[in-house]
Amino acid sequence: MRTVKLDLDHAPYDILIARDLLGQIELITRRLPQKRVAIVTNETIAPLYLGPLQHGLEQAGVQVHCIVLPDGEKFKTWETLNLIFDGLLEARCERKTTLIALGGGVIGDMTGFAAAVYQRGVPFIQIPTTLLAQVDSSVGGKTAINHPLGKNMIGSFYQPQLVLADLSTLDTLPPREFSAGLAEVIKYGLIDDLAFFEWLESNIDALMARDTEALAYAVEHSCQNKARIVAADEKEHGQRALLNLGHTFGHAVEAGLGFGAWLHGEAVAAGMVLAALASRELGNVSDADVARIKNLLQKAGLPVTAPVLGVERYLDLMAQDKKVDAGKIKFILMKKLGESYIGELEVPTIQAALAAGCA
């Protein structure tokens, strides 16, 4: 088992990475303040993993209540969030009842948000079942729902008690979802870890084949990178924003096409290419650097061109981004390959990037 520690003074916790963690129920039970949990999952994951998890907990003497939600980004809404609250209230769940998020990023984000506000805060545990959730959304305490005008605009920072990244759950992940997760893995190499980017270039075939050792290393290294950044800037007052490389453009793609049309990782991949093209316009990276980024993303099965929405539509959607400060859109740009920074772009630079990166 690989362990990554997220060292926050007020809420340190472990990220455990291995195969078959769902069968090790004691990893969960030892962290429960009372022997009562509410598992939140979705209609896709429930038939695969809910039964064994529920049975294992019940065998350990834990009272289990299950809440099964519809699956998909389009259901990351107030209405679906209220289904969680309905279930918790109907079961008379208490302040020491632990919520367990069993699913991908949507389930993790909504369960975490529900945990943050139900009775003003209850414990929760993340069991991410997608690659994207294991390397990104389950780590760091960002919780949220979407609004029609913007992604993740309503939420809270609220840390889990534990993250169980069971690599076995990736066996049932559809290829498109798996590739979407690799976008977030590649992101870490571009933020500030050129050696990891180069490792990914050398090992992308093994990752696409879902080789266990390659996957375990990629998940662990991604979590280490995120844990280091989050520990230094939990509430995203500064450097944590670097984790949003590709997201300003990417969130505009998701909102512009309608949430769920593109997977989050697909939009981030196209967004990273746009960020690279804008950085090239600034003279920070070369044509060869952009080609390397696009080549790795393509080998990971990801899109490298963004949809044509129009410059004004992109600007309008990006103006809704959480990183907007004093009316100015903040972008994560590349200083060079493997090193990024927070900056601003003039409209002509954005236009040039969109012209080169949209089709």
Active-site residue identified among 187, 264, 322, 330 = 264
Query: Helices H, strands E: what count in the chain?
Result: 13, 11
Q: Kindly report the backbone phi and psi dihedral angles of residue 343, in degrees, each rounded to the nearest multiple of 5, phi listed first.
A: -150, -170
- Residues counted in the chain: 359
The CB density around residue 184, as the number of other CB atoms within 10 Å, is 26
Active-site residue identified among 65, 240, 280, 322 = 240
Q: 66-90 burial, b for 16+ CB within 10 Å, e for fewer? A: bbbbebebebbbeebbebbeebbee
Coil vs helix vs strand at 150: strand
CB within 8 Å of 178: residues ≥ 6 apart: 131, 170, 210, 301
244 is catalytic: yes
Active-site residue identified among 76, 187, 221, 247 = 247
Q: Kindly report the backbone phi and psi dihedral angles of residue 342, in degrees, each rounded to the nearest multiple of 5, phi listed first.
A: -95, 125
251 is catalytic: yes
Secondary-structure percent of the chain, ordered helix, strand, coil, rounded to 5: 50, 20, 30
Active-site residue identified among 151, 187, 221, 251 = 251
The CA-atom distances, in angstroms, between 123 and each of 96, 101, 226, 299 are 7, 11, 22, 39
79 is catalytic: no
Active-site residue identified among 65, 76, 146, 184 = 184
119/304 Cα distance (integer angstroms)? 44
247 is catalytic: yes
221 is catalytic: no
Active-site residue identified among 10, 30, 92, 120 = 120
Active-site residue identified among 220, 236, 254, 266 = 236
Take residue 147 and report the two structure tokens written for it: 């609004």
240 is catalytic: yes
Take residue 339 and report the two structure tokens written for it: 């090193």
Using an 8 Å Cβ cutoff, are 128 and 66 in contact?
Answer: no
Active-site residue identified among 187, 226, 280, 294 = 226
The CA-atom distances, in angstroms, between 264 and each of 33, 34, 133 are 34, 35, 11
226 is catalytic: yes
Take residue 320 and report the two structure tokens written for it: 């809704």
129/7 Cα distance (integer angstroms)? 23
| 102: β partners | 127
Active-site residue identified among 142, 187, 294, 322 = 142
36 is catalytic: no
Using an 8 Å Cβ cutoff, are 340 and 334 in contact?
Answer: yes
What positions carry a catalytic annotation?
Answer: 120, 142, 184, 226, 236, 240, 244, 247, 251, 264
